[in-house]
Amino acid sequence: MMIPETAVIPFWPQGPVWPMLILIWPLLVGALAGLPGLREKPLRLLPLAPLPALLLALARPADGTTLAPDVLLGVVLKTDTLGLTLLGMTAAIWLAAGLYALAYMKAPRKPAVFTGFWCLTLTGNLGVFLAADAVTFYVSFAAVSLASYFLVVHDGTAKALRAARIYIALAIFGEAMLLTGFVIAVSGADSLLISDLRATLGAPAGEDTLRPVTQGLAITLIIIGFGLKAGMMPLHLWLPLAHPAAPTPASAVLSGAIVKAGIIGLIRFIPEGAVETGTLLMIIGLTSAYLAVLLGLTQQNLKAVLAYSTVSQMGLVIAVIGAGITASDPQALASAGFYAMHHGFAKAALFLSVGLLAVTRGGVRRVLLAGIAVICASVAGLPGTGGALAKMAVKPAFEGFTLWLVTASGIGTSLILLRYLVLGARVEADAARPPALMAGPVIVMGLCALLLPWLTWSAFDPRPLGYLAGAGAIIDGIWPILVALAITALALSPPLAGRIPSPAVPEGDIAVPLERGAIRVIRAVSEMEPPVPQAHEWRRVLRIIAPAEALERLLLPWRVAGLVILMLIIAVALISL
């Protein structure tokens, strides 16, 4: 492993300290939630947790590396343009959601527990954008996957429990796939650095490299692990279940920030030039972009509609990544991150708007709906908005029919967001004016979606902004929206209103038959009569388990068990030094 093993002070990082502080600070904030003075109102700590990360992203330091050889197996953190952009987006979304939660969650269940797991999830979410070694990345990714379970299950309703059960099952499956893929890659690279793993997975066949079949297996497992987090079909089914069940602030970070952990993973680990892999990602991504819209149009829950919209948009991002991998085009991979940044801000604003609609009436509500419509138009790529720049940034990665499919996907994007607007207008409000802590984050996230792509365009695309004012760019941006408006107007017209059949697809779609099938299998297995062992077989079993029972009796006293565990921890720590 190519990591320096010397450090002036044990555990003190070499190089810039701020990236390490970004990961330590949220953990400290989460720990503070258990103190007696803060235990009653720990949600006040939430806005503090992402502040160091946001400050680093705003400072835009030069690319640099931080080493901590004494932590884990040698932590390596790296700052680059793509990582800092998504880090800043993530920190801003978590800050906005934390402020929103102060007004939205008046009497949360177990607030200290919620705060602790909120901060742990945030730590992992930030870590994936800084990690340059596989162990740090995996620990961060696993923290996101496992700790966010407690955000989904927080309300404790039957719906939340079911969504959380399916979510954690899929999360553990994804973590297992990812870990196996990482182990294979590390065994071939003899290194933990992500750059070395990526080179190994893309290296031509030779004596010192993995066999092509082994490379393909590792890449497949890694894609499954990251694709599940990013909502790639058919691994998407946790999103439309978890988003409606989670509290609205948690839904905002799930869709706006957490799914980007899967996106950055695909960009960092999948090697360029893997034509078959890239082509497969393009096919899956474009299929997701269209099919998710059809499923979303059948939903009645606002957050379920937005969840399917996220699946569709992440499908488009995955297609861009696939195109970049196929063509070995770093510019395409950077544009995928640029598009993901805009989506994160816009989707955070739209999810937070769900709670805002329930506490707004009268003229303020009309202004709110108008603002939501503008954000929706930006996601659809309306010329002049930040979303138009995001769309234009990814189009050079495609050509021919695939380029037309990417452009036409704006029809589906517009349709599903029009569905969101129609359902949102029907939400009944119980207050005339929303609290400032709920309205402010929505406004800021919306402005970020509309304006930040203009401010960061030059960092991701060499073309001048004047290109976007051309007639071709304007027409490409506006015709899909006009088609969607015409379809919606026709569907709502008196001759057709209420007469168009709409299939009732449940939230989670294929999760329902899969869940029923699993229940049947478990029930059938539980009803099977186990074979009765013969006497001589029982004696053999007892001889085998006797040493284990003796060891259990030895470890049963807490002091002995605690001492053994402590010795194991010390041994592992010494081995890792």
User: Taking residues 148-175, what's their average pLDDT?
Assistant: 89
pLDDT tens profile 101-144? 988 877 667 788 888 889 999 999 999 999 999 999 999 999 99
Q: What pLDDT does 498 receive?
A: 62
Q: Are 328 and 270 in contact (CB under 8 A)?
A: no
Q: 547 and 440, same structural domain?
A: no
For residue 556, tell me if it sits in a domain.
Answer: yes
Asked if pLDDT for residue 39 goes beyond 80, the answer is no
pLDDT tens profile 459-479? 888 888 777 777 777 888 899
Q: 396 and 282, same structural domain?
A: yes
Residues 6 or more apart whose Cβ sits within 8 Å of residue 10: 70
For residue 503, tell me if it sits in a domain.
Answer: no
| Sequence-ordered alpha helix ranges (H) in 231-301 | 239-245, 248-253, 260-269, 275-296
Q: What pLDDT does 11 receive?
A: 65
Q: What pLDDT does 114 receive?
A: 86
Q: What pLDDT does 500 receive?
A: 66
Q: 426 and 571, same structural domain?
A: no
Mean pLDDT of the chain: 84
Q: 454 and 308, same structural domain?
A: yes
Residues 6 or more apart whose Cβ sits within 8 Å of residue 389: 342, 453, 454, 457, 468
For residue 446, tell me if it sits in a domain.
Answer: yes
Asked if pLDDT for residue 4 goes beyond 50, the answer is no
Distance CA 196, CA 76 (A): 13
Quick one: pLDDT band at residue 360, thresholds 50, 70, 90?
Answer: confident
Selection from 162-171, 344-353, 547-556 with the highest mean pLDDT:
344-353
Residue type, 559: R
Quick one: pLDDT band at residue 158, thresholds 50, 70, 90?
Answer: confident
Q: What single-letter DSSP state applies at residue 466?
A: G
Asked if pLDDT for residue 560 goes beyond 50, the answer is no
For residue 326, tell me if it sits in a domain.
Answer: yes
Q: What pLDDT does 284 receive?
A: 95
Q: What pLDDT does 1 receive?
A: 44
Distance CA 120, CA 31 (A): 10
- Cis, bond preceding 234 (omega within 30 deg of 0): yes
Q: Are 258 and 144 in contact (CB under 8 A)?
A: yes
User: Taking residues 73-91, what's their average pLDDT?
Assistant: 91
User: Taking residues 233-249, what's their average pLDDT?
Assistant: 89
Q: 479 and 577, same structural domain?
A: no
| Low-confidence winner among 272-276, 354-358, 556-560 (lowest mean pLDDT) | 556-560
- What's the total number of domains in the chain? 2
Asked if pLDDT for residue 556 goes beyond 80, the answer is no
Q: What pLDDT does 207 receive?
A: 59
User: Could you give the C-alpha distances from 55 to 203, 345, 361, in angstroms and in order?
Assistant: 38, 17, 36
Smallest CA-to-CA distance from 313 within 398, 255, 400, 268 is with: 255
Q: 574 and 450, same structural domain?
A: no
For residue 498, tell me if it sits in a domain.
Answer: no
Q: 549 and 481, same structural domain?
A: no
For residue 6, tell me if it sits in a domain.
Answer: no
User: Taking residues 214-226, what's their average pLDDT?
Assistant: 92
Q: 554 and 481, same structural domain?
A: no
For residue 534, tell me if it sits in a domain.
Answer: no
Rounded to two decimals, the pTM is 0.86
Distance CA 271, CA 78 (A): 19
For residue 532, tell me if it sits in a domain.
Answer: no
pLDDT tens profile 274-304? 889 999 999 999 999 999 999 999 888 899 9
Q: 183 and 37, same structural domain?
A: yes
Q: 575 and 482, same structural domain?
A: no
Asked if pLDDT for residue 253 goes beyond 60, the answer is yes
User: Taking residues 229-251, what's their average pLDDT?
Assistant: 90
User: Taking residues 338-342, what's their average pLDDT?
Assistant: 95
Helix (H) or strand (E) holding 66: strand 64-68
Asked if pLDDT for residue 561 goes beyond 60, the answer is no
User: Taking residues 42-60, what's their average pLDDT?
Assistant: 90
| Full domain range(s) for residue 140 | 18-458+469-492
Q: What percent of the chain has pLDDT over 90?
A: 44
Q: Are 68 and 13 in contact (CB under 8 A)?
A: yes
Q: 430 and 550, same structural domain?
A: no
Smallest CA-to-CA distance from 449 within 523, 375, 391, 395 is with: 375
Distance CA 530, CA 528 (A): 6
User: Taking residues 38-47, what's their average pLDDT?
Assistant: 81
Q: What pLDDT does 41 receive?
A: 79
Higher pLDDT, 502 or 172: 172
With 0-12 / 13-18 / 19 or more C-beta atoms within 10 angstroms meaning exposed / middle / buried, residue 514 is middle
User: Taking residues 61-80, what's their average pLDDT?
Assistant: 82
Q: Are 332 and 406 in contact (CB under 8 A)?
A: no
Q: What pLDDT does 188 receive?
A: 85
pLDDT tens profile 396-449? 989 889 999 998 999 999 999 999 999 988 888 776 677 888 889 999 999 999
Q: How far is CA 536 from the centre of its chain?
A: 54
Q: 197 and 90, same structural domain?
A: yes
